[in-house]
Amino acid sequence: MSLTNADVRKVARLARLGMTETEIESAREQLSGIFDLIAEMQAVDTNGITPMSHAQDVTQRLREDVVTETDQRELFQSLAPQHQGSPQVEAGLYLVPQVIE
């Protein structure tokens, strides 16, 4: 299967992966090779086969609606992405880059 650079660019955009034109070119070659391998699947007749999404046929369990987590805000705040060596938090909140003017 041959992908075009435009295909690769579109997928990179969907996946939020920044790529240079050189990277797109090399990704196109490698992905084309991988999709050649994957193409072996296409010849198989799977009419009437139920898709298998999980190894075990189990249904989701229900649990009592009770509090199971304790408050660990300070611990979690300490893990926020760092800026100049300290976590980006203020007044118990997480600071994220401004996205709205």
* Nearest-approach distance from CB 25 to other proteins, in angstroms: 13
Backbone angles phi, psi at 68, to 5 degrees: -115, -15
Beta bridge partners of 3: none
Question: For residue 95, which amino acid is it?
Answer: L
Is residue 95 within 8 A of residue 80, CB to CB? The reply is yes
- Quick one: tokens of 41? 């699947």
Closer residue to other proteins (CB): 91 or 97: 97
Closer residue to other proteins (CB): 76 or 93: 76
By three-state DSSP, how is residue 57 classified? coil
Closer residue to other proteins (CB): 44 or 91: 44
Site residues (vs other proteins, CB under 8 A): 7-8, 11-12, 14-19, 27, 30-31, 33-34, 36-42, 44, 46, 49-56, 58, 60-61, 63, 72, 75-76, 78-82, 96-97, 99
